[in-house]
Structure 1
Amino acid sequence: MAEAERERRLRPAQLLFEPAEAAADPEHFFDLESIDDPRALLARATELTLAFRAAHDRAIEFQAVAAAQLADPRRFDRLSAAAIAESADWTEDYAKRMIEFGEGLLRGEGESRH
């Protein structure tokens, strides 16, 4: 993988709900740096942590659904688990598990089990 592509993958996605000028400041993170009271800081940081965990779980579910759709044998342009793994920077075994997870989600089964 080229260094520029690796750097792009390692950089977190831009948080769209944070103003661009604030996101450009490396010291800024959802105004946490402006909270002086440690109790308030802990409470707000905990809220953000829980929100990011929930967002992470939802994003994984969407990845799984997309992987299952891409691997669907009814698609004329379906992709193999290896091709999906390569495009998502996963191992092939993980891609197979994500495809199965996504198939379950598409059938309306279960909760996150990644």
Structure 2
Amino acid sequence: MQFQKLIADENGESHWMDVSVTLTERSFAPPAQDIEISEPERVKQAMFLRLRSGWNEPIHPTPVAQKLVCLAGTVRVTASDGEFRDIGPGDVWHMEDKHGKGHHTTVTSKEDFESIIIQYE
């Protein structure tokens, strides 16, 4: 299991990286059998987000560290270094490019892009 992470370096340039999630088998909901699960992460809030088909934003940094889980539709997200990722259903995108040049996002699907946002700060 992995997710895609967008970070900003010390010069404000944003870059993509792939992050593997470590899962450990343990008891989570006794008496159910053990499951594979990651370590918990503290979060501040969660929201649902919709970007209408054709939506195209100017380049910007993320306002807070947050994860996006895509439910429907697709977006193309381009880091300031030019590398892009297509985010679609089931993909997880962790944003930490809170300073610098940021990223550009555009909806590439004919359908609206729908997701859940989980904020850390």
TM range (shorter): under 0.3
More helix, by proportion: 1
Greater strand proportion: 2
Give the TM-score taking structure 1 as reference length: 0.22
State the TM-score, normalized to the length of structure 2.
0.21
Which protein has greater RCO, CA pairs closer than 8 Å, 6+ apart?
2
